[in-house]
Amino acid sequence: MMEKIVFLVVLFVITVNAQEKTPDGPLPALPPEISQLGASATGSAPCRIVDKIIPHGEEWTHPEKCVNFFCYDGKIINVDYCDELKSTGPNCIIVPIRPNLDYPYCCPKVVCD
């Protein structure tokens, strides 16, 4: 879980820093997983994550990670992910991520008998 949190924090910081223009030059390069397609004059540019293009004003759930991204004018402005779960009793199990569902329905769940 800590690894996931660190990844998301680093991803957020890189994205925010990369999207702010520096007074002395162009935007810094984004990692290959995320690239900014550029803000548009109409305020409706899409976002790109890996090979997925997310239209302005829409969200997308990564099918393997159950992480939800929201795009606004070429910027990922919100990232949601599942909470870490712990089994609370001897008759409880954690049902894993369901990749065919969107966030938050894809998140793991604790099920007890």
Residue-wise pLDDT for 27-54, tens only, equals 445 455 555 555 556 678 999 988 899 9
% residues pLDDT > 90 (the chain): 39
- What does each C-alpha distance from 65 to 80, 91, 98, 101 come to in angstroms? 11, 26, 10, 11
Question: Would you say residue 97 lies in a domain?
Answer: no
Domain range for 61 = 2-81
- All residue ranges of the chain with pLDDT < 50 are 10, 17-23, 27-28, 30
| Number of domains forming the structure of the chain | 1
- What does each C-alpha distance from 12 to 8, 88, 98, 105, 113 come to in angstroms? 6, 32, 25, 23, 39
Q: What is the DSSP letter of 89?
A: S
Question: Would you say residue 61 lies in a domain?
Answer: yes
Question: Would you say residue 103 lies in a domain?
Answer: no
State the pLDDT at residue 60: 94
State the pLDDT at residue 44: 87
Question: Would you say residue 87 lies in a domain?
Answer: no
